[in-house]
Amino acid sequence: MKTSVIVGLSALLTIVAASSAEEVAYEGEVTDIRVVRRLEQHPYAWKVWQPFIIQGDRRRDLLVAFGVQVNGKNDMGDILVSLSRDDGDTWQEPVAVFDHRERQGAIQFAYANPVLYRAPGQDVIWCFAMRCPMVYRNSEESQLVGAFTADGGRSWTPVEMAMHYTGPLILNAGLVATEIDGQRRYLLPAHRNTLQKDPRGSRDHFILSSSSLLEWKLEAFIPQPTEPRVFLHEGNIAPGDAPGELKIVMRTANYDEDRLTTDPPRAYSSVSQDGGRTWSIAQEESELHNAKSKGFFGQAADGTHIYVYNDGPQQRDTSWPGFPHGGRTSLRYKTKPPGGQWSEEKTFFHAGIKNSYPTLIEVAPGDFRAVWDSGTADTPRTHIHFGKFKLQP
pLDDT tens, position by position, 6-51 = 333 233 222 333 345 556 789 999 999 999 999 999 999 999 999 9
Q: Please tell me the predicted confidence (pLDDT) of residue 20.
A: 53
φ/ψ region of 349 (left if φ > 0, alpha if ψ in -120 to 50, else beta) reads beta
The end-to-end CA distance of the chain, in Å, is 54
Q: Is the pLDDT of residue 113 over 90?
A: yes
pLDDT of amino acid 17: 34
- In 164-196, which positions are buried (b, 16+ CB within 10 angstroms) versus exposed (e)? ebeebbbbbbbbbebebeeeebbbbbbbbbbbe
Predicted TM-score (pTM) of this structure: 0.92
Query: Which string of DSSP letters, residue by residue, matches 332-387?
Result: EEEEE-TTS-----EEEEBSSS-EEEEEEEEEETTEEEEEEEE--SS---SEEEEE
Per-residue confidence (pLDDT) for residue 325, from 0 to 100: 64
**Residue 162, domain CATH:** 2.120.10.10
Q: What pLDDT score was predicted for residue 12?
A: 29
Burial of 33 by CB count in 10 Å (0-12 exposed, 13-18 middle, 19+ buried)?
buried
Range of the domain at 221: 2-390
Question: Nearest-5° angle of CA 82, CA 87, CA 91?
Answer: 30
Q: Please report the DSSP string for 20-35 in residue order.
A: HB-----BSS-EEEEE
Q: pLDDT tens digit string along 117-154?
A: 999 888 999 999 999 998 888 888 899 999 999 999 99
pLDDT tens by residue, 328-387: 999 999 999 999 999 999 999 999 999 999 999 999 999 999 999 999 999 999 999 999
For residue range 197-242, what is the model confidence (pLDDT) as tens digits?
888 889 999 999 999 999 999 999 999 998 889 999 999 999 999 9
- Quote the CA–CA distance of 159 and 163 in Å, as a whole number: 12
Residue 74: the pLDDT is: 82
In the structure, what pLDDT confidence band is assigned to residue 312 with cuts at 50, 70 and 90? Answer: confident
- pLDDT at residue 321, rounded to an integer: 67
Total domains in the fold of the chain: 1
Give the bridge partners for 196, in sequence order: none
Mean pLDDT, the chain, integer:
90
